[in-house]
Structure 1
Amino acid sequence: MAVLVVEHGAGEGPYAAGDALRRAGLELRHCRTHLGEDVPGELLDVDALVVMGGPQDAWRDEGFPSRQAELALLRLALAAELPVLGLCLGAQLLAEAAGGAARRGEAGPEVGWEPVRPTAAAASDPLFAGSGPDDRRVLQWHSDTVALPPGAVLLATGDRYPVQAYRVGASAWGLQFHLEAVAETVEVFAADAAEEPGGHGGGAALEAAPRRLAELAPWRDAVLNRFAALVAARSEHTRTRAFFTPRAADWEERFPDDGPRYAKAVAELGLTEGQAVLDAGCGTGRALPALRAAVGEGGTVLGADLTPAMLRTAAAAGRGGTAGLLVADCARLPLPDARLDAVFGAGLVSHLPDPAAALAELARVTRPGGRLALFHPVGRAALAARHGRALTPDDLRAEPNLRPVLAAAGWDLARYTDADDRYLVLADRRA
């Protein structure tokens, strides 16, 4: 598991945030923009994004050559529901990316150990729960502020600048203050402040640091440890969403001729009028119209996918009227036992972090005698050639490997086809 940390200046490292992430078993991958390192265009193979502070202005490109690339990366993270933590400048960039705004603060620089107050909403927040209503003295070092993005939840406020901490959606947090601060953080900031006109009160902040850090540490570590635990717990889902989200809009344009193959595979499920069927990992829902035609208006068709962007594309194509669309993990379905007559899964096995657990879950929700179809419009060898790689003996989709996994999950393999123009496995739910 890995976290991408975007840094904007020497000394603006993750400090206590990095310690929390490493304790959770997460690797830190640094992108140091002040050294000319390029901001990635995708978020593959990372489980979270942390954007640090810096001297730049989040609201303008001048003096900030990586700004547009960082905003694009943050928007991608928000769309994929990747966990995000923005600190100081990072919080301002997150606001900009989410539809709010960063701007010059009218109250002037806020520097030193200043109080912030958790709001009532903090009590139910995944990170800030348990913060209580009392003021917390935190390290401030900023002149800019933000207007909250639409729908954001304010989690902490202050007298001079009302927006001190907020959450966007379910997994992105912006903190105007430096919760990551340790003794080294204050020393670096104070040294920088001493070189600026007026000094910005760096000496006073440094003198008060031992006492303030000791007071802050329990709350700081609780919040940052919760973020790290959330990242680790969601890593399996995060990578799937990060892969599929930027591809959702044009997914079908990449494979425009696959429709008839989907329809043919659905026909081999043998569905009848009034039955209930699930398209597991339905993506943009190419199989849903054929599934609806097979069970008729009196039947039940569900499409479940882990990536909301895929389901939004399915709905935009009118497939929400064909089936009920669920954001769901195929290994933890919100369905009762033996509810379904059949399950259709296109390209599913290759994207499951724990195929055995997911196949067992699909068996749980399928009645005895029900049927499972695992499908791909291209066979294994042709698909490997398309991606420029060779087949390996441990490929789970190979019949000798797949049969025992299906059996352990409660399925009996009935038919196995692996040709250039299709891959289709049919299995029956054991009684």
Structure 2
Amino acid sequence: MFNQIALHERLLKAVAELKFVEPTPVQAAAIPPALEGRDLRVIAQTGSGKTAAFVLPILHRLLGEDRPKVRTRALILLPTRELAQQTLKQVEAFAQFTFLKGGLVTGGEDFKVQAAMMRKEPDVLIGTPGRLIEHLEAGTLHLEAVEVLVLDEADRMLDMGFAEAVQRLAELCSKRQQTLLFSATSGGAGLRAMVASVLKDPLHLQLNSVSQLNEGTRQQIITADHDWHKEQLVHWLLEHEEYNKAIIFTNTRVGADRLYGRLVAKGVKAFVLHGDKDQKDRKLAMERLKQGGNKVLVATDVAARGLDVEGLDLVINFDMPRSGDDYVHRIGRTGRAGGEGLAISLICHTDWNLMSSIERYLKQTFERRTIKEHKGTYQGPKKVKASGKAAGTKKKKLDKKGAAKAPAKRKSGPRPNADKPALVSGDGMAPLKRRKPDAE
């Protein structure tokens, strides 16, 4: 129960108002040591409630000291605008009975308006690394008084190329007393290096392994022959699956726009979200999806992190994600907070090896499914029997003594196809190779 955690009474009042009764596993594990001031390295799946696991300890710290207001005392770094906006809403919700204020700094918003907001020195500053660096270089960002630094979705920030920016911002918070690092995956060498450089004697909390992610989500694959076949499958699934809201992921912006156009032409109420969309369009897409005006969102991986939409229960991978971590974050949009969901990946011959590697990474086997109305010819790679010899080599013929026979001499006479004209180049000199027809 939340009332058994030693939080400030005003925060407990907000928790009760929001109808939070029992903490999630990540909250129960992370909040107590965070309240003690420990640095934390937390791995927890998306949708597990980890935002509250760092927001509540931050607000508790800021409320606990009877001291005059100073400059911004907490900084939360996140990879995407959408995740930053949702985190601000969480800060505002938990701080509703306090004097504490939050501020948001992301790309796509008016730079001067953000600078004016920061001059008011919000207690908690939430932002994306790229835009914060722009304000730093413009002299409008001051981090000297920051006591707590949070790196949320740290693995994704590294994937997006923010490693240098994050390191620079962390170094500017030189007087900080606590650092909390959260991610949904264990990451690679880059993340381990960041943990070593920004955390001091951290407590490591791993609330799950990747093989345990999204236990409430069924994971299926459907084989397809090509992109046009995938488009047919997507339309059929949207017509026949029972769902409240759906996201379809593509790997490219061009692919997202093309699929969005195809769906709209067939009467599907959809929106598209990717990095080329301005902030106004991105907000509109999210609002329409959350309010139910549009049930379908076509998106690139910009939406795979931090997107928390109630009732989102179907994820379709039109393109297979490029890594196991990206797959985890995509399907993490559904089956959140103990709910149920369905994740379907469309697999053609170019996707199979990538899909198999993700199965191995997750230590899972995805359910195979066939749509009989749109069954294709590709059903996965054919099993090739071992021949007992290396591919591309010919077995030599041996004589009775075991020695290799000499190759037979070509019989005299005309060559095969000698009556067919040779292909020559335009100048009539060098022979040209006969070309095979291009594959469709």
| TM-score normalised over the length of structure 1 | 0.31
Task: With a CA cutoff of 8 Å and minimum separation of 6, indicate the structure with the bigger relative contact order.
Answer: 2
Q: Which has the larger radius of gyration?
A: 2
| TM-score normalised over the length of structure 2 | 0.31
